[in-house]
Chains A and B, each alone.
Chain A
């Protein structure tokens, strides 16, 4: 009860503070034909239905939901990689019509360019942004590149890479290191919105915990708007300032997929301390019960695995 009251209070506080809206989804639905062959039309499958979301600047939104509920589709829509069947998406004040640099993007894999070293991967974005093709011919380009290299090195070292890893190619480093570089690569562009699609799901628990901590610190420093898609309930609750749980679309045509949309309690404690608190455990149970109902055994990365304590799942 105390927890619920606190959540309502925080929601009220969030509503009274005038914060600019960074991402806005208005009546967004996505459906496509499945199994159409030649002239025979297939069955229409609705992935997202009547979605209305306003995400404020600087929010860290964790998106949870079962497989097939449209989490990744939501991200692709905001990126401009896919388009809604109906409705409109606005990012940073402009309607999304194509992929551009308003959003930084960290996918689960294939994030880094395999033909570039770690440092070149991180320098790639700013080089495009500030030089272009002709800029590379200017005499000032070399000085710019030297300065950029220093910045990129600082960013990578901050993300936990060693100095002798900077000139290695992605295939020479572990998945965890690659994801660190992928985050650094996206952050170098200082995007107003950072979209992360199960970015930590392929990592081992210790690397995952360390990256969660780093991401949280980075977000606290520069406050980009983050949309973090995950399968992991604990991860969503520990990182986010707001939780959105999507459910697979049922038969009701106008029913929205959003099952839960609520602010999350914040604390100055570190992630490792927070995840052991009673409040966190209660909240986690609440979300699991609401989100997965009878499937409440599923709250980790691997569907079907037995329920474990939240500490273990991280």
Chain B
């Protein structure tokens, strides 16, 4: 008797690739990307050894070192005898990461009410009547078009950038939570009421608890739009932040700084997404 074949045809829907295959395949596009970049860089550096558009490995390394260990141009220079820890915590990358993260997390905290409004819209008919039509309309307003209004109303400080993120992602998150909560079977609500639940119990202990994993997934999907609005705000009016630095470096053609910054932002978002995914799995083993 033959064993079930574990390696199917490459276009076989029923194929069962081995673990080694799946792991290897998942890295192939990364390797192709690195290889293509290196080749382009080599070609450009052959033509012009001082090329800054596609920096070489050595230039990138210098850029990373400057970002991680040296303060920003606008800041005071560090004492030459400063420790590595001091260098890192006073560096350009650290300062920008802290500034952007602060804005990012404040915006996420301000989005919690959006989740609750979405839940209430789905559960309480009066809240649905009050909010739904307006939120559906408001969701269609392109948030970036509101940026001038936000700058006029909230000034060009932190608040306008945070509000841009909240206004940009809030309605989407509200509607997503609304749809998720609406998809909870009606039987669950009926059953809860027959088990002496109050309205509060049904909304928070039955429905919110059940939809929480999907809401967290929705937040995960909205991490990138949040970062997008943050970058838009920082690029237009800011004195620090990851996007501000990228905008400044663009003027100097500082690709040796821009590329590490782009990768750092991707790593941060990827890490946050992974953290939420693991938390979701741990907190909701039934999902």
Across-interface contacts of A81 in B (CB, < 8 A): 186, 190
- Asked if B193 lies at the interface with its beta carbon under 8 angstroms from chain A, I say yes
Which residue from A98, A105, A133, A170 sits with its C-beta under 8 Å from B191?
A105
A169 touches B286 (CB 8 A): yes
Contacts of A100 in B (CB 8 A): 193-194, 196
Q: Give B196-234 as 1s and 0s: 1 = Cβ < 8 Å from A's Cβ atoms.
A: 111011000010011000000000000000000000000
Query: Are A101 and B191 in contact, CB atoms less than 8 angstroms apart?
Result: no
Selected from A110, A185, A191, the residue in CB contact (under 8 A) with B187 is A110
User: Does the CB pair A189–B210 fall under 8 Å?
Assistant: no
Q: How far apart are A108's CB and chain B's nearest CB, in angstroms?
A: 8
Interface status of A103 (Cβ within 8 A of chain B) = yes
Tell whether A124 is near chain B: CB-to-CB under 8 Å: yes
Q: For the complex, give the distance between the alpha carbons of A169 and B198 in Å.
A: 24
Interface pair B194/A101, CB less than 8 Å apart: yes
Q: Is the CB of B210 within 8 A of A115?
A: yes
B 178-200 binary contact with A (CB < 8 Å = 1; else 0): 00000001111011111111101
B191 touches A128 (CB 8 A): no
Q: Chain A residue with minimal CB distance to B195?
A: A125
Contact with A along B5-39 (1 / 0, CB 8 A): 00000000000000000000000000000000000
Q: B250 — which chain A residues lie within 8 A by C-beta?
A: none
CB of B102 within 8 Å of the partner chain = no
Q: Report the minimal beta-carbon distance from B101 to chain A, rounded to whole angstroms.
A: 31
User: Nearest-CB distance from A276 to chain B (Å)?
Assistant: 35
Q: Knowing A109-B187, A114-B286, A133-B200 touch, does A103 contact B194 (C-beta < 8 A)?
A: yes
- Which residues in chain A, 175-193, are within 8 Å of chain B measured between CB atoms? 185-186, 189, 191
Q: Which of B186, B197, B285, B287 has the most C-beta atoms of chain A within 10 angstroms of its own C-beta?
A: B197
Interface residue B281 (Cβ < 8 Å from any Cβ of A): no
Q: Does A129 contact B (CB under 8 A)?
A: yes
Please tell me the number of chain B residues within 8 Å of chain A, measured between CB atoms.
22
Kindly list chain B residues whose C-beta atoms are within 8 Å of the C-beta of A171.
286
Contact with A along B42-65 (1 / 0, CB 8 A): 000000000000000000000000
Q: Mark out the residues of chain B between 243 and 287 whose CB falls within 8 Å of any chain A CB in the assembled complex.
A: 284-287
Residues of A contacting B287 in the complex (Cβ-Cβ under 8 angstroms):
115
Tell me the chain A residues, 70-119 only, with Cβ under 8 Å from chain B. Answer: 79, 81, 98-101, 103-105, 107, 109-111, 113-115
| Residues of B close to A103: CB separation below 8 A | 194
CA distance A273 to B184 in the complex (A): 42
Contact A129 B191 (CB under 8 A): no
Given A128-B201, A169-B286, residue A113 in contact with residue B188 (CB < 8 A): yes
Nearest B residue to A107 via CB reads B187
Q: How far is the CA of A125 from the CA of B190 in the complex (A)?
A: 13
The reply to whether A114 and B190 contact each other, CB–CB distance below 8 Å, is no
B191 contact set on A, CB distance < 8 A: 105, 107, 111, 113, 185
Select from chain B the residue with minimum beta-carbon distance to A189: B195
- CA–CA, A233 and B229, complex, Å: 62
Task: Say whether B194 contacts A110, CB under 8 Å.
Answer: no
Closest residue on chain A to residue B213 by CB atoms? A115
Evaluate whether A99 and B193 lie within 8 angstroms (CB atoms) in the complex, with A110-B185, A111-B187, A169-B285 already known.
Answer: yes
Contact partners of A191 in chain B: CB under 8 A: 194
The 8 Å CB contact of B190, one of A99, A132, A189, is A99
* Inter-chain contacts of B193 with A (CB < 8 A): 98-101
Q: Out of B190, B196, B286, name the residue touching A115 (CB < 8 Å).
A: B286
| CB neighbours of A170 from chain B (8 A) | 286
Within A130-149, the residues touching B (CB, 8 Å) are 132-133
Q: Is the CB of B195 within 8 A of A99?
A: no
* Bound CA–CA A125/B200 (angstroms): 14
Contact of A129 among B186, B190, B196, B284 (CB under 8 A): B196
Which of A109, A125, A169 sits near B196, CB closer than 8 Å? A125
Neighbouring A residues of B185 by C-beta, 8 Å:
109-110
A128 touches B196 (CB 8 A): yes
Chain B residues with CB below 8 A from A114, complex form: 210, 286
Instruction: Tell whether, in the assembled complex, residue A113 and residue B210 are in contact, meaning their CB atoms are under 8 Å apart.
Output: yes
Interface residues in B94-114 (C-beta closer than 8 Å to A): none
Shortest CB–CB separation between residue B182 and chain A, in angstroms? 14
The distance in angstroms between the C-alpha atoms of A132 and B285, with both chains bound, is 26
A105:B194 contact, CB within 8 angstroms: yes
Could you tell me if A101 and B195 are in contact, using CB atoms closer than 8 angstroms? yes
Complex: A288 Cα to B287 Cα, angstroms:
44
| Chain A residue at minimal CB-CB distance from B201 | A128
Contacts A/B (CB < 8 Å), 16 sampled: A81-B186, A99-B190, A100-B193, A101-B195, A103-B194, A105-B190, A105-B194, A110-B187, A111-B187, A115-B287, A128-B195, A128-B197, A129-B196, A132-B198, A186-B194, A189-B194
Instruction: List 7 extra interface pairs beyond A111-B187, A113-B209, CB under 8 A.
Output: A99-B194, A101-B193, A128-B197, A128-B198, A170-B286, A189-B194, A189-B195
CB-based closest 7 A-B pairs: A125-B195, A110-B185, A99-B193, A110-B187, A169-B286, A128-B196, A129-B196
